Structures are given as C-alpha cells and as structure tokens.
C-alpha cells in the first residue's frame, strides 16, 4: 500500500497541481443545502439533478467499501487566452475530461502496483458526485460566493477530479472560507444570477442558458445573452474575483494549446456550416451543445427588442 507521501509525490510529478485526501462519509450539511436549492427551483430545467441526490454526497453509495476520496485539481489558466472571445476559457483548450481522467487512471495504476486489493473509481464531472464539496473538505480550496471552488494557488481556474478508493488514509483539514466581505462576483454578474445566500439561480445564469438549456429562449433570456455577449458559458464572476488576479499560466500541455474556436470572430462564427461545427466539437467540451443550440445562442447576440 502506497503511503500518502508517495501518492502526493507521484501526483505532483505527473502534472497534478493540487491533491488532498478526505473521508468517504456522507456530508450532511452540503446535502441539506443542495436539497434546499433544488426545492427553490433554481436548478431550472436540469431535471437530472433531482436524481441520485444522496449518492452525490455519499461516495459509499458509488463504490462499495469506499473509505477515502483523493481529490485533485489542475490549473487551466492560460495568459494566451484572447480577452475578446465569446466562449469561456475552459472551452478554449483540450477536453479536460480526458486529461484529468488519464491522470487519475495512472495514479490508480501506481497505487495498485503496491496494493493488489485496491479498488477505485475515478470521476471527472461524469457522475453524481459533489466534487466541489469534497475538494473543500479535502483542503484544496473553498466554495466562493459564486459557488465555484477557489484555491489560494490558482484561484478558480481549476479543473477537479476524484479517485474514490476502498482504503483508509489520514485526511486533510477542510479549507476555510476566504471570501470575507468581498462581493465582486455578486455585483458583476450580468444577469443577477449569484444570490446573497451563496447560491446561483441557474435560470438566470449565462452558462446555464447557453449550455444546459435546450429549448428556445424567451425574450428576457435573449436580452440577457445579448448583454453578456457570450455564446458558450460565462467567466464574468471569475474574471472579477481577486483570487484570480495573479494566477500563473498552466503547465499542462493540453490546456496551453488554444482551441481553433478562440480565433473565430462573431462574423466567422455566423458563417459556420453544420459540418465545420461538428469538426470543432471533437475533443472539446463544445460537444455539450448541439448545432441548433449554438446557432440559437449566436442569434441571441443580434437580437433586438
């Protein structure tokens, strides 16, 4: 069985920026907050969030015999990102799911070599698991007022992943909240989606509207999209966060190289034909939207009341 120190050392050598350990027990407080958020209707039309609610906050329901969750984070900030792009920073690089999943699988193999009885399941935003709550519990950072995980080292420009294992390790202390009285994200949100109770109303969130919402926009929603000037996601609450002012450039090769979409002007995006759009979607998180959603989002930018 590998020691904590061996695991941490291997993780750092393999390009994992942050790593922490926490237990696999149910987090009652986070479960209660999540249920209240769902009951308030702020999840919008994301009906899938109402399924497997307890499993999301209890890793033991995901892996029989789960004892520990190893949480990781990788910085994806690139100083090369064009400031005028109409897509979120995280879509301007290689699909993070593949990058983090590969690192978690290699970490699992490394641990398995010294422990044949080890059983583990890796997760990268691919199953009902409360990754931000677990990451805070594992000491990687804290959930900010915009609900994102904020780290001292890289701000909120991080991708998260988890390895749930059937072995017990000493755990890290939860990270304290360091937002203080700052309300930069609340005040800057272009659609008022970030609420005073530290939750986000998805129905008003530009990321939700441009990615998760499948139907046609209402006139109100068209107005919000036009104001934001975004067609995929939204980074306003991150751009204004003081913890994101001095984030170093990522060292991960997959996140340094810019996606072709970064070089497209609005005019060129309008000229995208169906086949070219699906070429751009390959190996990118852009595959979360259909061509119909994409053209709907573009049309909203030119909408006039």
Catalytic annotation, residues: 125
**Which among 291, 292, 287 has a CA at the least distance from the CA of 216?**
292
72 close to 103: Cβ distance less than 8 angstroms: yes
CA distance 32 to 296: 36
Q: Would you tell me how many other CB atoms lie within 10 Å of the CB of residue 51? A: 9
CA distance 153 to 80: 19
User: What contacts 235, CB < 8 A, 6 or more positions away?
Assistant: 88, 89
CA distance 234 to 237: 8
Beta strand pairing call for 149-150 and 142-143: antiparallel
99 close to 74: Cβ distance less than 8 angstroms: yes
């Amino acid at each position: 069985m590998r020691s904590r120190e061996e695991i941490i050392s291997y993780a750092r050598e393999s390009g994992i920026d942050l790593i922490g350990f926490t237990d696999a027990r149910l987090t009652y407080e986070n479960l209660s907050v999540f249920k209240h958020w769902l009951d308030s209707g702020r999840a919008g039309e994301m009906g899938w969030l109402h399924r497997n609610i307890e499993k999301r906050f209890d890793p033991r329901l995901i892996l029989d015999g789960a004892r520990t969750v190893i949480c990781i984070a990788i910085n994806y900030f690139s100083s090369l990102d064009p400031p005028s792009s109409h897509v979120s920073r995280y879509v301007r690089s290689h699909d993070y799911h593949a990058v983090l999943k590969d690192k978690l699988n290699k970490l699992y193999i490394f641990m398995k070599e010294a422990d044949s009885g080890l059983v583990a399941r890796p997760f990268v935003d691919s199953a009902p698991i409360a990754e931000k709550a677990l990451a805070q519990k594992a000491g990687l950072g804290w959930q900010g007022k915009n609900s994102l995980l904020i780290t001292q080292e890289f701000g909120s420009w991080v991708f998260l992943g988890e390895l749930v294992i059937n072995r017990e390790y000493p755990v890290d202390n939860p990270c304290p909240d360091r937002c203080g009285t700052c309300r930069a994200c609340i005040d800057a949100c272009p659609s008022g989606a970030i609420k005073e109770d530290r939750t986000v109303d998805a129905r008003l969130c530009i990321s939700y509207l441009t990615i998760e919402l499948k139907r046609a926009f209402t006139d109100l929603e068209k107005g919000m999209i036009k104001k934001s000037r975004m067609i995929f996601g939204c980074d306003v609450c991150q751009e204004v966060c003081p913890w994101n002012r001095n984030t170093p450039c990522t060292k991960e090769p997959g996140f340094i190289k810019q996606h072709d979409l970064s070089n497209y002007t609005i005019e060129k995006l309008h000229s995208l034909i169906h086949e070219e759009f699906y070429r751009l979607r390959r190996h990118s998180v852009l595959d979360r939207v259909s061509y119909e959603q994409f053209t709907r989002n573009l049309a909203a930018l030119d909408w006039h009341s």
